[in-house]
Structure formats: C-alpha cells, structure tokens
Structure 1
C-alpha cells in the first residue's frame, strides 16, 4: 500500500482532528505531500508537528473555509509549495444540533456556511489547478444524517446538499480528468461525537454503546475507516468512479 499517492498533493479542510486528521495521516503514510487548513490553531500546530516528526512533508495554515479569500490563499500557497493540487477533501464541519422549534438563525446559518459554502469555496479554488493539470480527485465528506436525523435539521440539510453538490461537480468536471465523490460516515468516534455526548448529557462510552447496538457489524467507526474510503476515491485507478456516495456506517443506509 505504501506509496500509492507518491508524487500527489492532497489538500484537506479541517485536517487537525478526528476524521480530517485520519485522512491527512493516511495520505501522508501513502506518500502524498499533504496540505491542510483548520480554524483550531492549537490542534493544527500539534498535528503539523506530529506529522513532521514522522518525516512527512506537510503544509498547514489557519484558515476559515467560510472565507473565500482565506481558502484561495491557502490553496495557492500549497500549490506554490508543492507544485500541484491533485486531491481535495472537503471535511471541515461543525454541529449546532437542536430540535427545529429551538433552532436559532445562527445554528442554521453556521452549519450551512461551514459545510456548503466552505466546500464550494475550496472546490472552486482547487478546480482551477486540477483543470490545468487535467487531473483531480474531489471528495466531499457527507454523513448518514443526510437521510434525516432528529435534532439535525441544519446538519442533515447541509450534508444532503453536499451530495447534490458532489454529483454536479462530477458532471461538470469529468471531462477534465477530475472525479467528484462523497463519503458519508455513520457513527465515528471523534471529538465531534464527544461533543454530542456532552450536549445530550451522557458519558461518551454510553453514547458509543447505544450507537453500536444498531450497527450490523457490531462496532463503532474510527477515523481510519473513513480514510480508507477517501483513499479509494482518491486513487488514480478510481477514474471511472464518479458522482458516487458511499455510506461508511457498518451497515446499509437507504
């Protein structure tokens, strides 16, 4: 497996923690030069140092995906540092869960901005380099919540929107050797799901056990499980797989 992405450059949004970090690590382990952005300066710095200590070539920068100029500047810097942008993973995400009648304008807008506007900003900035190079892989991180989930009207709508966005990019960019696909995780053990446990007032272990009870494979997901699916879509050999959504959830999702 080592070296599958040798000579490739991957750019990951929200790459400092959880799923994003797992994806960054996978690309680095398999030979890619990896660039990632995050708003969390402390986590960004820690992950960057961790990867460099292992001898990986990384570029990282504090940037807000909602700000088009910041995203464009970060992608341009990564391109100038590494000479290419071959793979883009739109992973940056936030949750502002609440039942509809309690959901504020800010709860709704923040989630829409980070997931949809953020992915739009990054894809628009990265495609320029990919079109020029006649090669690219865009992978958007959706969620099983796209199919509907109590307390997540905002998140479910944004993640479903990302799937429509993915399919449209696939249609528009396919002729340039660029594919666009989406990975939709189920329950994954991350900082974000820990926040969910805190919000509903249960210990994280209890939330994991409750979730596992309904997962056919009988275990919860780890960031590496999502990184595996992302790596499949990012592979050069996956050039005929385009506009697809794969649910990585330990069982079928309809």
Structure 2
C-alpha cells in the first residue's frame, strides 16, 4: 500500500485528507503536537477501515519532526505523499507585527513546511517518484490582507518555495503542488473540509499544475476572512 503523511493533522482538513486518501488505498501517518488527539483520530479512522498511526511532533522543532518521520518509516515503510497542512491563522495587523511575533508564526507557516519537505525529498528523488503538497491561503497570498499579516507573509513565502520546488523536481519524477484555499473552511459550505480533500485527491491523480486556487466565485474571499478572524 501507499503511505500518506499529513503534517498538521486536526479535526478539520487534516482529518478529511486522512479519510479521503485512506479510503483510496493509502495508509496514513498523522503528525501533530498532541498525541491524545492523534490517538482519538486514529481510532476514528480505524472504525472506517483505514490504517493509520499518530506521531506527536512540533513542526517548529526540526529534531522532533525528523524523529516523527523516522517512526513513520519504521511503521509504514516508504512515504509516497506528504501534505504540509500546518499554519498559524492569527488576526495580527502589519503595524502590530513585531519581529518576535513574525518569527514565531513563520516557524509554522513556512519553515515547518521546508523542514517537512526536506524529510522526503531525497528518498523521492532516489525513487524518481513521490508527491509533496502544501496547503496555501489563496486570499492572503496574492492580495493585501493587513489583518492577517503574518499569515500573508508566511503563505506567500511558502507559495514561492512550492513553485521553486515544483520546477526543480518535476524532471526527477517528484510532483510538488499547492492548493490555495481562498476562504474559511467550514462544514456545510463550498469550503467544507471534505470538498477540499476531494480537490487535493484530484490534484494527486492529475498532477497537472504547480498550484490550484480553491475559490468560491460567488463570495468575496477577503471580506469573508476579515469578518471571520477579526470577530474572534
């Protein structure tokens, strides 16, 4: 069987990604900070007939992350697909963004993504096969979003990294892609986690673009983001 690793596994998109890929022949490795939450998700996936295991690690700690990936290989063997889904979404304006805040948030929003990719690039290039995905925030990457300054900085940087990696590794059999979600993930809407997981799996199957934007044309994404995160 193939193995998917989801870094930044929570009850929303991370869970839906595990379910979507798991129901399509993947064993699933779950990485997040809280082992108790991972164990609960693993039990839920098991009830659906999906083989999975959770490995606790903080994406800002490269040693912890490397240890988690090592355990993934011990448990499942080679890693076929990596999805970096971690992020800090915090309403911090540009004027309020200090160097300390920016550094803390960027460790998750971009550095953790690079660290995770580095855990699999070598083996995928050696096999001339593999897939690396990053979850992006469409409205924060390409437009001015001052109330989410640190997220905008991080996702813009992660987007650049994803595109550079795509160009570099495509000829070596490794597909790198980014799904940029221009909205707030919420069940019962166009932006439900299950819908987005379906889009990810379609990208995995088609391998036809470095990036897709997941956009509801009927909504003003920036306005929705502002209403959601400034009201918290």
Given candidates 27, 32, 57, the residue that maps to 1:38 is: 32
Given candidates 52, 67, 73, the residue that maps to 2:46 is: 52
The equivalent residue for 2:160 is: 164
Q: CA deviation at 1:151?
A: 0.6
Moved over 6 A (4+): none
Given candidates 122, 131, 137, the residue that maps to 1:128 is: 122
Deviations 1:180-229 (A, max 9, x none): 110011223359xxxxxxxxxxxxxxxx9xxxxxxxxxx44111121112
2:83/2:134 contact within 8 Å kept = yes
Rate the CA distance shift 1:29–1:188 in 2: closer, same or farther, 3 A.
farther
The equivalent residue for 1:19 is: 13
1:138 aligned counterpart, secondary structure: strand
Deviations 1:62-87 (A, max 9, x none): 10112122222212221222121110
Q: CA deviation at 1:96?
A: 2.5
The equivalent residue for 2:92 is: 98
Q: CA deviation at 1:99?
A: 1.6
Q: 38-47 or 172-181: which moved more? A: 38-47
Please state if 1:246 is matched with 2:212.
Answer: yes
Aligned pairs, number = 218
For 1:94 and 1:179, the matched residues in 2 are separated by 25
2:110/2:158 contact within 8 Å kept = yes
The equivalent residue for 2:203 is: 233
Trace 1:148-227 onto structure 2 (pairs within 5 A): 148-190=144-186, 219-227=189-197
1:65/1:71 contact within 8 Å kept = yes
TM-score by length of 2: 0.86
Q: Which runs of 5+ in 1 are unaligned?
A: 1-6, 192-207, 209-218
Deviations 1:80-111 (A, max 9, x none): 22121110101011123222222333331222
The equivalent residue for 1:216 is: none
For 2:123 and 2:104, the matched residues in 1 are separated by 28
Q: CA deviation at 1:150?
A: 3.2
